[in-house]
Chains A and B, each alone.
Chain A
Amino acid sequence: MFQYWSGTNPEKLGKGEAEGLSQILERLGYGIEPDARLGGAVPKLTGWVGIFRLEVNDLSYLSAEYLTATLIAHLAIVVASGDELPNSVEQEYLRTYLESLIPLTRSERSRFQAHLQLLLQEKPNLRGLKARIEAVSSETRGAIAQFLVNVAVADGQASPKEIDRLTKVYTLLELDSQTLYSNVHNISANSVNSRPAIEPITVRAASPSQGHRIPAPAQNSLVLDMSIVESKLSESQEVSSLLADIFGEEPPVSLGASPTEIEAGIAGLDAAHSQLLQALAQKAEWRRAELAAIALALNLMLDGALEVINEAAFDQCDNAVIEGDDPFEVNAEVLQELLA
């Protein structure tokens, strides 16, 4: 096409030439992106342009929403690309949810799709966006940032490269990098929480970009989502029973121990430890020196021996039989149970 339309400069169209091209295409029922008449760049002959079928008459101007949408698309592609293009999951997310974030008119929509294709071909960078970002209100910036994080995480993870780019974009958007980390974290953590039926992640509603922001619900009205409470309760119930298995009383050791074992010792302990355990029954409270003497006589080391005995007590009664450290206290109940 450009072969027939090229003018004086073999590489680039003049402004007049570009506008003429747009007009001709419009008469033929096609639109072109970028369109010089709408403030778009003048197409380069060596670069790409997007051609799309016009369903209604083309526009005479582009709405602020459209401009914001292209800005978001631009940023999103930069963020999600890493070195290559955004992967298909991310592209899909971008296409599907951007339109729900920012409502476009029908004619803008097809133009936007062409623009998006073009961006994907061009592999944009972050240069020259300052003025476009400044045109956006600060609330919208917050929503944009959140959306970008969603795109980056759409494929299950924000890779370090994506984080790196997001950091730069957040700086451009004049947002704190702390906000970035908590945004990424919360999205990742929530998908991990895998609440069924609340997916894919819903992007913040369309309102912020409209300029008429619905005021945030007053802080003092607290509404609990009882269905979430229910699911939390049942999850917690599962945790409780899981943990009860671990922390709970263990089933009593089988009583069918062979006679020789019983002779050998109490509660699965060897002879020396059993004797020490029996010695403990003499008093409710012991000084370290007293116990150490008994242990020595039995050829045991006190701390190690008490550890072994208490371990056995835990196995059988889920509690220690002797506690403290000079003086030691004997738990009579456990001791009874062990000696029984």
Chain B
Amino acid sequence: MTNGNLIKAKDRDMVIQSLQAGVVPRKGQHFIQVGRVEEIKAVIRDLDRMGEGGSAIRFVIGEYGSGKTFFLSLVRSIALEKKLVTAHADLTPDRRLHATGGQARSLYAELMQNLATRTKPEGGALPSIVERFVTSAVSEGRDRNIDPEAVIRERLEHLAEMVGGYDFAEVIAAYWKGHDNGDESLKMNAIRWLRGEFTTKTDARQALGVRTIVDDANFYDQLKLFTQLIRLSGYAGLLISLDELVNLYKLANTQARKSNYEQILRILNDCLQGHSVGLGFVMGGTPDFLMDTRRGLYSYAALQSRLAENTFAVNGLVDYNNPILRLGNLSPEDLFVLLGKIRHVFAFGDRAQYLLPDEGIQGFMVHCSQRIGEAYFRTPRNTIKAFIDLLSVLEQNQQVSWKDLVVQVNIGAESNPDALVPQAEDEDDLATFRL
């Protein structure tokens, strides 16, 4: 299935445990990726272009259960390997691209919280990045026999032309001063400022002597500034991954929705025109978020024309350069391959350790389809959980035959949380086993 290499216990456990908990694994997604080779190639091209100082934007459109979140997470992992810094966040009613009540700042704060590098894939890499920048300035200062602060200001000089660039440079310099004078609270304040945790300008002025803070109006400009810092620190660029864009579509207020789409347009324009050097976006959303001509992205005329898919891509010809990447739903065949891969990972990549044969997987799928119908492959999360549960039981009870177990799998259908209609509260997402 995958190439004959064995899989490390650490990687295997991480994948299996995440899937069992119903979440996308943070590492090792490539062990269980099924198909989508062209989509992945397209994204890899994007990431390479970002590394060369370009920019990129992709809307990953798929229905509930089609694997958007998985795909976004895979993209992030690839980006980290390509020496990009990544930041991700789910949009929520309290975290938006445009707002006046602090929701955009709160999105920025979430992104900064989740800032990840290859060595810190779980997030929280902000201080490391800043220090890496400052450290290199210090060593340059030593080599040239000048004050490190002068080097910092020199390197950040061209940022002054960008919106908010002057204060940004001040904050970085403050971090160095704090370090130089052993003033931990000054360092902390600089980090807090960069994280978007200051809520009033007065506080920021007292703490750091700057007149601005990261707020709703300038958070995107701050991201651009931060991208420059990231590049100056020696990384290839910054990839921002935003999921659950459907939450913008769900905004009841027309004006609020429109302002958020305007922000998307601004980002899109910057990316397509190459104004944001080294900064890239991937955004995950549902088909209705894209196509609804009253409330979706298509309701905003300027976005409509930019997102229109290529007219020459007909009859199976595909233009993967379009910002829209559509992910189809999983077919039973996809699921079959996927379960096969999970079996492979579960067995540490050793075919001799497979706990059940191909017929076993089919038997399991037949059973699931009897229990919950089509939902078993349309919304595969529960199916995967149940399958791993089945494997665990088989592993611990070698005397039991898979044939007896498969029919006992208890699996429930899951509900689509993206639907506009509020869901009933009593959904039980558990897949359970009894021996």
Secondary structure at chain A's binding surface: helix, strand, loop or mixed?
Answer: helix
B308 at the interface (CB under 8 A from A): yes
Proximity bits, A292-309, B CB within 8 Å = 1, else 0 = 000000011111111110
A/B pair count, beta carbons within 8 Å: 205
Residues from chain A with Cβ under 8 Å of B351 in the complex: none
Give complex CA distance A36, B420 in Å: 48
Give complex CA distance A247, B76 in Å: 12
Give complex CA distance A156, B312 in Å: 7
B308 lies within 8 A of A244 (CB):
no
A247 lies within 8 A of B81 (CB):
yes
Q: Which residue among B2, B132, B316, B337 has the maximum number of chain A CB atoms within 10 Å of its CB?
A: B316
A132 at the interface (CB under 8 A from B): no
Q: Which residue among B35, B38, B124, B179 has the maximum number of chain A CB atoms within 10 Å of its CB?
A: B35
Stretch at the interface among A27-35, A60-68, A70-78, A190-198: A190-198
Residues from chain A with Cβ under 8 Å of B410 in the complex: none
B310 at the interface (CB under 8 A from A): yes
A307 lies within 8 A of B120 (CB):
yes
A224 lies within 8 A of B332 (CB):
yes
Residues from chain B with Cβ under 8 Å of A244 in the complex: 3, 30
- Distance (Å) between the CB of A95 and the closest chain B CB? 16
Indicate whether A156 sits within 8 Å of B314 (C-beta atoms), given known contacts A194-B38, A243-B30: yes
Residues from chain A with Cβ under 8 Å of B130 in the complex: 304
Stretch at the interface among B151-159, B218-226, B265-273, B366-374: B366-374
| CB-CB nearest in chain B for A185 | B287
- Distance (Å) between the CB of B379 and the closest chain A CB? 13
Residues from chain B with Cβ under 8 Å of A194 in the complex: 38, 316, 318
Residues from chain B with Cβ under 8 Å of A199 in the complex: 315-316
Stretch at the interface among A42-50, A160-168, A207-215: A160-168
A246 at the interface (CB under 8 A from B): yes
B26 at the interface (CB under 8 A from A): no
Indicate whether A191 sits within 8 Å of B316 (C-beta atoms), given known contacts A159-B308, A160-B298, A244-B3: yes
Stretch at the interface among A51-59, A101-109, A116-124, A227-235: A227-235
**How many of chain A's residues have a CB under 8 angstroms from any CB in B?**
69
Residues from chain B with Cβ under 8 Å of A193 in the complex: 35, 328
Give complex CA distance A218, B325 in Å: 34
B82 lies within 8 A of A225 (CB):
no
Indicate whether A303 sits within 8 Å of B333 (C-beta atoms), given known contacts A185-B61, A220-B369, A239-B35: no
**Interface of B with A (CB < 8 Å)?**
1-3, 30, 33-41, 44, 61-63, 66, 77-78, 81-82, 117-120, 124-125, 127-135, 138-139, 142, 179, 286-288, 290-294, 298, 304, 308-318, 325-329, 331-334, 336-337, 341, 362, 365-366, 369-370, 373-374, 419
Top 5 A-B residue pairs of the complex, sorted by shortest distance between their CB atoms: A304-B131, A189-B328, A310-B119, A243-B30, A185-B287
